[in-house]
Structure 1
Amino acid sequence: MKYDIIVAGLGPAGATAAYELSKKGFKVLALEKQKHPRYKPCGGGLTAKIENILEPDFKSVVERTIYKVNFTFRGSGDTHIKSDHPVVYMVMRDVFDNFLVEKARASGAEIHEQEKVTHVEETKDNVLVTTEKNTYSASLLIGADGVNGIVARSVGLKPKKKTAVLIEGEVNVKETAFNKLCDEILFDFGSVPYGYGWIFPKANHLSLGVGGLKKKIKNPGPYYSEFLLNKNLLNEIESEHKFGYTVPLFNGRSKITSLRTMLAGDAAALVDSFLGEGIYYAVRSGQIAAEVSQEILNGNNTIASYEERIAQEIFSELHYARKIDMVFYSFPKIGYNLLKKHPDFYEQIFDVVSGKAGYKQLWNKMKRKVVIETLPFLSY
């Protein structure tokens, strides 16, 4: 049986693409190696701009809406900042991803779970996708099978990326400790080389961890333990489940299309290297892939337009995020001082996460202040 589109991977990018295409009447096959709901290590923070692209029903799976942020440096120097509007919506990825998958299923997508893609072959007329169980044919393929997915390798695509290594704990702490941390998210700069530590409150526990560039830290385990010690949490833990994982950070424009394939989400390395946020860009790239697929199948476009649209809307944004991360993570004390001393700077960050502004505006505001903050270091 030939499908219009095959979607490989049912994280936020793949599930969104499958939903958007199936509700428009296209014959969609979506393949996923695991069975939803499945645990996914991730901070689970949806930046507020997700509201601009998702239907409002996503809030049914939000565990906590965050208005406050605390920035610290190596465990101390609390800088509490409050926004008048939501900054982040906290979710558990097993619940959120399953919510998106079920929307795709309800809209008519054919969902095959526990069926791993093993090979992809493109021809002039179609794309053949082989799994552990069968071989399927379609006009187009959306590769959303993650950082280590087979799709990109099969079609000869290798998006530019920097690899971050992370350890996250899903941690239950004593009630008094949880109550102190439950209404804000925390970012700690300087706790790990070229990265940060975080505490994200969920409904009744904390998702916390550390992450940084793989080539800088190799093993994040010791930094995780030190982070908990610095935040006075070691003696507050009642239960803890730790997970290690990697994240593909954007590292420059690269080719993400081939003859009949488009890469989306983590498979295309569409992760913000400043905040480490990838869910928004996964959802948005899935939507763009669906829009371009519809145009191609209707004879009104070519696959090259997908990369052009991603370049205009997402690559350009992540380019400036990369400039900002070079300051914050190469010189974390300077980055922390920017936040502590200049309220207009973190207000601009709030505008970025809400979608009212972009990283280009943030960078233009930031670079002048960086020079001022650097002068004391140069005087020695």
Structure 2
Amino acid sequence: MSKRYDLIVAGAGPAGSAAAWQAAQTGANVLILDKAEFPRDKPCGDGLTARAVSYLQKMGLSRELEKFHRVNGVLVHSPSDWELSFPRRPGMPDYGLVVRRPVLDTLLLRHAGAAGAEVRESAEVVAPLQDATGRVTGVKLKGGETISADAVIAADGSYSPIKRALNLDSEYNGYSAIAIRAEMAANRPDSDMLEIYLQLLFRGDQLPGYGWIFPMGGGRVNIGLGYINSYRNWQQINATSYLGEFLESLPADWELPSIEELKKSKEVRAWRLPMGFTAWPPWRPGVLFAGDALGAGKPVSGAGISKALESGMAAGECAIAALTNGGPDDFTNYEQRMQAAWGSEYRRGRMFHKLVGYPKVAAAGLRLLDNHTFRDRLLKSLYKKAQGPDHT
């Protein structure tokens, strides 16, 4: 007979590895599966907010984080330049990090394995197993192998095979962003600031999105841009060409490569980022969704790593708690946890997502943000809020 597990985690990105690590802390019999062999690349901005760093610290990775490039704030071009420092929050760092995803994701997966989770790489989950009632009872791998478990956490990405096989939908589905980035050398000193460019124009329209330059250390940078799909003409944008235009707008003395050079070296990577709960409720009997499979990206900024870590850790904890005290048919504890943590924030974010899709609204918002008096008041309010407990 094949081995049966307490919990199977499909997907070994930040959400999946955090879930497996969290569940393994209890002594549960956990298996984590991923179709790739690590280290593997993953398109991303590579920036970790202070909140993301705090979750990694909670996982016991403080020493490992010391080797990553530290950033102390954000330089915003709107188009005037202004700086944001990371706010001081009780029990949280006041800095962020930049780290390549092959490095971060491999670190997290090995950490889950060290905690007791069984790791299988090059094992692609293609569908869930279900019993006669429809409850998920395990997974099916490419090649036909089946593995059973009391519960499954689907952390298998924005195109989640488990979610698609279950034909799941959500009233919040459809909120997403398109992002593209490239990593490259830059002839400029290493910075300790993330840079954000808010003025993005397409055929005269102010786009709901932003460009970024994230310093990676060692003379390298991650440069990219993203925009949300509420803009009516988003499908007309050639993301690669648009990234090329953004690169050309940056200082010539940085000696950045052209978009054609980056394409030849296969440095250009694009991806879709679901956001605002594209799987809700975030569970069905036998299965919980985390990370991009949940649509955990922030509807305003698209920031995903901190949300992936938070949802993964919550899913791992709630899954084991439910299995211990009730069984795999009801993971309402996870739904309540996510609603309490993100419900209000994501509701506001979905409204914002719709509004800024109108170029006139986006342009007016940018003009307002570029007004020094308004901006100073807004920042004071945000920093004051950051001093107390929050879930942003």
TM-score under structure 2 normalisation? 0.81
* Percent pairwise identity: 27
- Give the number of aligned pairs: 353
User: Cα distance 1:336–1:206, how it changes in 2: closer, same or farther (>3 A)?
Assistant: same
Q: Is the 8 A contact 1:140 1:261 kept in 2?
A: yes
Q: 1:343 aligns with which of 337, 352, 376?
A: 376
Rounded Cα–Cα distance in structure 1 between residues aligned with 2:387 and 2:174: 25
Could you say which residue in structure 1 is the equivalent of 2:347? 319
- Cα distance in 1 for partners of 2:196, 2:128 equals 40
Check 1:329–1:187 CA distance in 2 against 1; reply closer, same or farther (3 A cut): farther
- Say yes or no: does 1:209 pair with 2:224: yes
| Cα separation, partners in 2 of 1:233 and 1:327, compared to 1, 3 Å | farther
CA separation of 1:334 and 1:185: change in aligned 2, threshold 3 A: farther
What corresponds to 2:337 in structure 1? 309
In the alignment, what sits opposite 1:196? 210
Distance 2:99 2:126 in 1: 31
Structure 1 residue 4 displacement after superposition: 0.5
Partner amino acid, structure 1, of 2:4: K
Cα deviation for residue 103 of structure 1 reads: 0.8
Structure 1 position 259 matched with structure 2 position 278: no
Check the 8 A contact 1:352/1:358 in 2, yes or no.
no
Is contact 1:250–1:269 with CA below 8 Å preserved after alignment? yes
Residues 226/108 of structure 1: CA separation in 2 closer, same or farther (3 Å cut):
same
Cα distance between partner residues in 2 of 1:97 and 1:67: 23
Match of 1:47 among 49, 56, 66: 49
Q: Which residue of 1 aligns with 2:71?
A: 66
Range moving further from structure 2, 111-120 or 345-354: 345-354
**Deviations, residues 182-203 of structure 1 (Å, cap 9, x unaligned):** 2211111131522111111112
Q: CA RMSD in A?
A: 2.7
Q: Does 1:223 align with 2:223?
A: no
The answer to whether the 8 Å contact 1:90/1:200 transfers is: yes
Alignment of 1:1-380 (within 5 A): 1-54=3-56, 55=58, 56-58=60-62, 60-61=64-65, 63-73=68-78, 76-83=79-86, 86-123=94-131, 127-133=137-143, 134-159=145-170, 160-174=173-187, 178-179=188-189, 182-192=191-201, 193-204=207-218, 205-214=220-229, 216-218=233-235, 219-233=238-252, 236-238=255-257, 240=262, 241-250=267-276, 254-300=280-326, 302-326=330-354, 330=358, 331-340=361-370, 341=372, 342-349=375-382, 357-358=390-391
Where is the helix percentage greater, Structure 1 or Structure 2? 1
Unaligned residue ranges in structure 2 (runs of 5+): 89-93, 202-206
Structure 1 residues without counterparts, runs of 5 or longer = 360-380
Q: Deviations over 1:212-268 (max 9, x none)?
A: 124632222232122112222586115742111111121678222111111101001
With the length of structure 1 as denominator, give the TM-score of the two structures.
Answer: 0.84
**Range 254-263 or range 238-247, more displaced:** 238-247
User: Retained in 2: the 8 A contact 1:157–1:257?
Assistant: no
1:121 is paired with a residue whose SS is: strand
- Letter paired with 1:335: G
Contact 1:189–1:332 (Cα < 8 Å) also in 2: no
